[in-house]
Amino acid sequence: MRLLQAATVAGLAASLAALAACPPPEPELTQVERGRNLFFNETFAGNGRTCGTCHRAEDNFGLSPAFIATLPPTDPLFIAETSPALAKNFENPRLMRQFGLILENQDGFGNLDSTFNMRGVPHTLGLATSVASRDGPRTGWSGDGAPGDGSLRSFSTGAVIQHFTKTLNRVPGVDFRLPTSQELDAMEAFMRSTGRQEDLTLPLPLQGAKAARGQLIFLDNKLGKCNNCHFNAGANANPAIFGAGVGNRNFNTGVANLPDKPAKLTGELVPTDDGFGVPGNGEFNTPPLVEAADTPPFFHDNSVATIEGAVAFYNGDAFNNSPSGRLLAGTGGGRGITLDATQVEAIAAFLRVINALENIRESVALLKEPRTRENLRLAGEETDDAILVLAGAGLHPEAVAHLRQARDLINRSAIERATQALTDARAQLVASR
């Protein structure tokens, strides 16, 4: 018996020694972490692009011309400039570099020379709040961006087919591989995790007179009328008008009829984008506004560069002659929306302030995460964005000073003091309830 005990102890000791010699097990990744890895690293055996090629974390998960200008020529974004098989009818490099426009074939692949759309890259922030609608999920600029069941989960499959292919034959297993079911699950989990997880509840107790006035105009059903379609400055329609559970909606706001669109001024072929469906009905879905100010350019075709210009769009003939504009005008025959320049700027100031508040929220959240170089970098970039959107219109110089201080402290990894500076900046923008 004692011999048996000795043998058992010896065996146990050997097992423990073997265990100690093994490397520690890799921590199991969460679904969101797996999705993040796929989003930024997985090429799906295609042309080298990943989801993150166009939805850049450094550019608020979108893609602006200013950011594109910083990329090396070898970046897979520019695959049409380096791969002979994709040199024609895959992208328009001139429009991509100047305006951040990506070529899409929502209306079919039958005539690649003339049937295509040039669209901007919508950011993926706050998707958890913006995809659902009473009619089913709405993805992409026109709400019909995903194959399969049309869900956000299926969107990645369509993106691989459209943007990742090695040749225009688009043969699965040759030009790319399709994401597996598990990969789709993980990427959806990641996409839903980025940015805001819930909508604001307006009105906010804003400190600045201009932004506060802008908020009132935004909410005013006789003046700005913005809250009808951008309820609480999000992507969903106002349930008081459209019914409970309405969620995201498509509207024809006449963006397609804007005169002097920058991309068309180049002389390049830019077919009119007819939006939802094939053939399209001219409708596009409603993007969230909280993240708007730091994600220019605006509208599905990147036709407006500034947030003030985007608000002013609703003053113009393109909107007021559109189906949505005419409906807002009602039966009186007047114009749907008429704002003076000061009112346009006030609404834009409101949008800039709520964007800065979201930047601050995100930055503080990142500083609470484990202190990795990536988290600090992203917190710094969020803070930079807050500075940009406020300083860009001369808003809240005191808050900007706190934000600059926070940026400096983030650079020095002084997390607690940086968080305090961000909190101080926030207090300049909005009173605590």
Partner 1 sequence: MKRTWNAVTLALALCASARDARAQQTTERFIPVGQSPGISGTRSYLGEIVSVNLQRKTFTVRDAQGLRTIKVAPGTRIWLDRSAQQLTIVDGSMTDLEVGRRVEVLYVDDRRRDTADWIKVLVASGG
Cβ of 65: how many Cβ atoms within 10 Å? 19
Alpha carbons 218 and 18: distance in angstroms, whole number = 67
Least distance CB 188 / partner 1 (angstroms): 10
CB-nearer residue toward partner 1: 24 or 332:
332
CB-nearer residue toward partner 1: 237 or 387:
237
Least distance CB 303 / partner 1 (angstroms): 21
Least distance CB 232 / partner 1 (angstroms): 17
Alpha carbons 38 and 51: distance in angstroms, whole number = 8
Least distance CB 235 / partner 1 (angstroms): 14
Alpha carbons 247 and 207: distance in angstroms, whole number = 30
Least distance CB 234 / partner 1 (angstroms): 16
Least distance CB 271 / partner 1 (angstroms): 14
Alpha carbons 205 and 200: distance in angstroms, whole number = 12
**Preceding amide of 147 cis, omega within 30:** no
- Is 216 buried (19+), middle (13-18) or exposed (0-12) by CB count in 10 A? middle
| DSSP of 204-273 | P-BSSHHHHHHHHHHH-TTTT-GGGTSGGGSSB--HHHH-TT-BB-EE--SGGG-SS-HHHHTT---PPP
CB-nearer residue toward partner 1: 64 or 228:
228
Least distance CB 109 / partner 1 (angstroms): 6
DSSP 121: -
- Do 188 and 35 touch, CB atoms closer than 8 A? yes
Where does this chain bind partner 1 (CB under 8 A)? 105-109, 133, 135-138, 140, 143-151, 153-154, 157-158, 161-162, 169-174, 178-179, 181, 184, 221-222, 228, 237, 240-243, 249-251, 276-278, 281, 283, 323-324, 327-332
Least distance CB 419 / partner 1 (angstroms): 41
HEC sequence for 269-294:
CCCCCCCCCCCCCCCEECCCCCCCCC
In 3-state terms, what secondary structure has residue 127?
helix
CB-nearer residue toward partner 1: 57 or 223:
223
CB-nearer residue toward partner 1: 15 or 281:
281
CB-nearer residue toward partner 1: 66 or 240:
240
Least distance CB 315 / partner 1 (angstroms): 18
Q: What is the phi/psi pair of residue 237, to 5°?
A: -80, 160
Name the CA dihedral angle for 393, 398, 399, 402, rounded to a multiple of 10 degrees: 130
- Do 134 and 247 touch, CB atoms closer than 8 A? yes
Q: What is the phi/psi pair of residue 294, to 5°?
A: -105, 20
CB-nearer residue toward partner 1: 55 or 396:
55
CB-nearer residue toward partner 1: 329 or 414:
329
Least distance CB 293 / partner 1 (angstroms): 25
**Short-list 131, 135, 47, CA closest to 91:** 47
Sign of CA dihedral 412, 418, 419, 422: negative
Alpha carbons 41 and 36: distance in angstroms, whole number = 8
CB-nearer residue toward partner 1: 38 or 386:
38
CB-nearer residue toward partner 1: 14 or 278:
278
